[in-house]
């Protein structure tokens, strides 16, 4: 019979780092509000939460790498907002922050949730940071919790060869 590993939302005892970009803070502070709501909703104690601010979304991977290597947190949540402008700067920041954050997760083995909005305009950003489209900060925390739990299940699952009679 196939094993199925699915991350649940049991967050008991988890330590979570939340990294927030200061650029577009009118949006990222709303994302942080959603993240804090999710952390409280799932029972993560205030003393088990670290919130760290960086200048912008491009700096999120740098701090995520540093925090992941410390081994202090069970998961990291990255929050940022990049709004398309008149130049190609948007494309570079979006691509590099996404690539960097994903690389940290792969290299470190620590779940790193991507809660960086990449929107066409400020209306889209506001809609996704507590408006009509929900709050991506809340969603990113839930993704991080689920990933921690999948990793834990995987760590405790018997290897395929060991499971055979």
Give the CATH number, domain containing residue 84.
Answer: 3.40.50.960
Would you state the pLDDT for residue 86? 85
C-alpha span between 77 and 64 (Å, rounded): 9
Establish if 116 belongs to a structural domain.
yes
Q: Which domain holds residue 49?
A: 16-23+33-55+79-153
What was the pLDDT predicted at 121? 97
| CA angle, residues 118, 123, 124, in degrees to nearest 5 | 35
In tens digits, the chain (165 residues) has pLDDT values of: 888 899 999 999 999 999 999 999 999 999 999 999 999 999 999 999 999 999 999 999 999 999 999 999 999 999 999 999 888 999 999 999 999 999 999 999 999 999 999 999 999 999 999 999 999 999 999 999 999 999 999 998 776 545 455
Note whether residue 124 is domain-resident: yes
Strands (E), 2-157: 16-21, 49-54, 75-83, 112-119, 129-131, 134-135
pLDDT at 2: 85
**Count of domains observed in the chain:** 1
pLDDT confidence of residue 67: 98
Residue 37 burial (CB count, 10 A)? 15
Asked if residue 66 is part of any domain, the answer here is no
**Residue 130 covered by a domain:** yes
Q: What is the layout of strands, in order, in the sheet containing 75-83?
A: 49-54, 16-21, 75-83, 112-119
Cα–Cα distance for residue pair 86/1, rounded to 1 Å: 54
Judge whether 163 lies within some domain.
Answer: no
Residue 6: inside a domain: no
What pLDDT, on a 0 to 100 scale, did the predictor assign at position 157? Answer: 75
Contact indicator for 98, 58 with CB cutoff of 8 Å: no
Residue 47 inside a domain? The answer is yes
| Distances, alpha carbon 121 to alpha carbons 22, 28, 90, 104, 117, in Å | 17, 14, 11, 28, 11
10 Å CB burial of residue 1 (0-12, 13-18, 19+) is exposed
3-state secondary structure of 119: strand
Residues labelled as active-site residues: 89
pLDDT at 125: 98
Cβ–Cβ < 8 Å for 122, 85: no
Whether residue 88 lies inside any domain: the answer is yes
């Amino acid at each position: 019979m196939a094993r199925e590993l699915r991350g649940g939302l049991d967050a008991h005892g988890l330590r979570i780092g939340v990294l927030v970009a200061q650029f577009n803070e009118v949006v990222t502070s709303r994302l942080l509000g959603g993240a804090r709501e999710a952390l409280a909703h799932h029972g993560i104690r205030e003393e088990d939460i670290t919130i760290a601010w960086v200048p912008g979304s491009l700096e999120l991977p740098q701090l995520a790498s540093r925090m992941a290597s410390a081994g202090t947190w069970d998961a990291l949540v990255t929050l940022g907002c990049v709004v398309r402008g008149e130049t190609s700067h948007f494309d570079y920041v979006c691509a590099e922050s996404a690539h960097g954050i994903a690389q940290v997760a792969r290299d470190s083995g620590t779940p790193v949730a991507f809660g960086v909005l990449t929107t066409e305009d400020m209306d889209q950003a506001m809609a996704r940071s507590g408006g009509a489209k929900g709050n991506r900060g809340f969603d990113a925390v839930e993704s991080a919790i689920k990933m921690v739990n999948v990793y834990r299940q995987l760590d405790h699952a018997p290897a395929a060869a060991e499971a055979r009679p």
